Amino acid sequence: PMAKVRLVSSRTLVDRVTATLQEIGVLHLESTPMEAAQIPLRPQVMDEPARQRRAELERLREELRRLFLLLPEISSEERINTEQVRHPGLTEGGIRHLADLLRPIAGRVDDLSAKLKTCEEELALLSKYELALAALAPFLRFIQESEELDHLGVTLEEREGSRDLLPLLREMMAKITDDRYELFHTRVDERLLVVFLVFPKAHSVRIRSLLWEEGIAELRLPASVSEKPLGEALRILLQKKAALPLEATRYRQELEEVALRWRQELAQYQKAVICCLEQIEARSLFYHTDMATFIYGWVPRCALATLSLRIGKEFGGKVVLEECLLGQKEWVHVPVVLRNLAFLQPFETLTRLIALPRYGSIDPTPYVALFFPLFYGMILGDVGYGLLLLAVAARVRRRYSQHPFLRDLSTVFFSASGMAILFGLLFGELFGELGAHVGLHPILNRMQAFIPLLAISVGIGTVHVVLGIALGALSAWRHGNRQECLAKLGGVTLVLSFISLMASLVGLVPGQWISAEVVGVLCSLIMIFALGGGRGAMELHNLVNVLSYLRLMGIGVASASLAFAANKLGGMVGNVLLAVAISGTLHGLNFVFGILSPTIQSLRLHYVEFFVFFFAPGGRPYKPFTHRHPALPLRG
SS3 of 307-365: the string is HHHHHHHHHCCCCEEEEECCCHHHHHHCEECCCCCCCCHHHHHHHHCCCCECCCCCCCH
Question: Distance between CA 564 and CA 425 in Å, rounded?
Answer: 16
Q: Is residue 565 within 8 Å of 586, Cβ to Cβ?
A: yes
Helices and strands, counts by H and E, the chain:
18, 12
Question: What pLDDT, on the 0 to 100 scale, is given for residue 94?
Answer: 85
Question: Distance between CA 244 and CA 116 in Å, rounded?
Answer: 10
Q: Is residue 621 within 8 Å of 336, Cβ to Cβ?
A: yes
Number of neighbours of residue 85 by Cβ within 10 angstroms: 14
Q: Which of helix, strand or coil describes residue 635?
A: coil
For β-strands 335-336 and 320-324, DSSP reports them as: unpaired
Question: What pLDDT, on the 0 to 100 scale, is given for residue 57?
Answer: 92
Give the contacts of 203 (CB within 8 A, at least 6 positions apart). 150, 176, 177
In angstroms and rounded to an integer, the radius of gyration of the C-alpha atoms of the chain is: 38
Number of neighbours of residue 96 by Cβ within 10 angstroms: 12
Q: Is residue 336 within 8 Å of 30, Cβ to Cβ?
A: no
Q: End-to-end CA distance of the chain, in Å?
A: 12
| Phi and psi torsions of 579, nearest 5° | -65, -45
Residue 45 DSSP label: -
User: Can you give the length of the chain in residues?
Assistant: 636
Q: Is residue 237 within 8 Å of 157, Cβ to Cβ?
A: no
Burial zone of 163 (CB within 10 Å; 0-12 exposed, 13-18 middle, 19+ buried):
exposed
State if pTM tops 0.85: no
How far from 619 is each of 25, 326, 338, 360, CA to CA, in Å? 21, 16, 10, 10
How far from 608 is each of 102, 103, 469, 533, 545, CA to CA, in Å? 56, 59, 13, 23, 9
Question: Distance between CA 595 and CA 38 in Å, rounded?
Answer: 56
List 10's β-bridge partners, or say none: 292
Low-confidence ranges of the chain (pLDDT < 50): 81-88, 629-636
Give the contacts of 566 (CB within 8 A, at least 6 positions apart). 431, 432, 582, 583, 586, 587, 590
Per-residue DSSP letters for 219-276?
Answer: PP--GGGTTS-HHHHHHHHHHHHHHHHHHHHHHHHHHHHHHHHHHHHHHHHHHHHHHH
Tens of pLDDT, residues 261-282: 898 889 889 988 998 999 888 8
Q: Is residue 396 within 8 Å of 406, Cβ to Cβ?
A: yes
Question: Distance between CA 303 and CA 308 in Å, rounded?
Answer: 9
Question: Distance between CA 391 and CA 549 in Å, rounded?
Answer: 28
| Phi and psi torsions of 159, nearest 5° | -125, 150
Q: Is residue 494 within 8 Å of 528, Cβ to Cβ?
A: yes
Q: Which of helix, strand or coil describes residue 410?
A: helix
Give the contacts of 418 (CB within 8 A, at least 6 positions apart). 373, 377, 386, 390
Q: Where are the alpha helices (DSSP H) in 1-47?
A: 14-24
Helix axis angle for 551-571 and 576-607, nearest 10°, is 170
Question: What pLDDT, on the 0 to 100 scale, is given for residue 346?
Answer: 94
User: Which H or E run includes 525?
Assistant: helix 514-532
Question: Distance between CA 128 and CA 284 in Å, rounded?
Answer: 57
Question: What pLDDT, on the 0 to 100 scale, is given for residue 631?
Answer: 39
Q: How many CA atoms lie within 13 A of 271 on its CB side?
A: 20
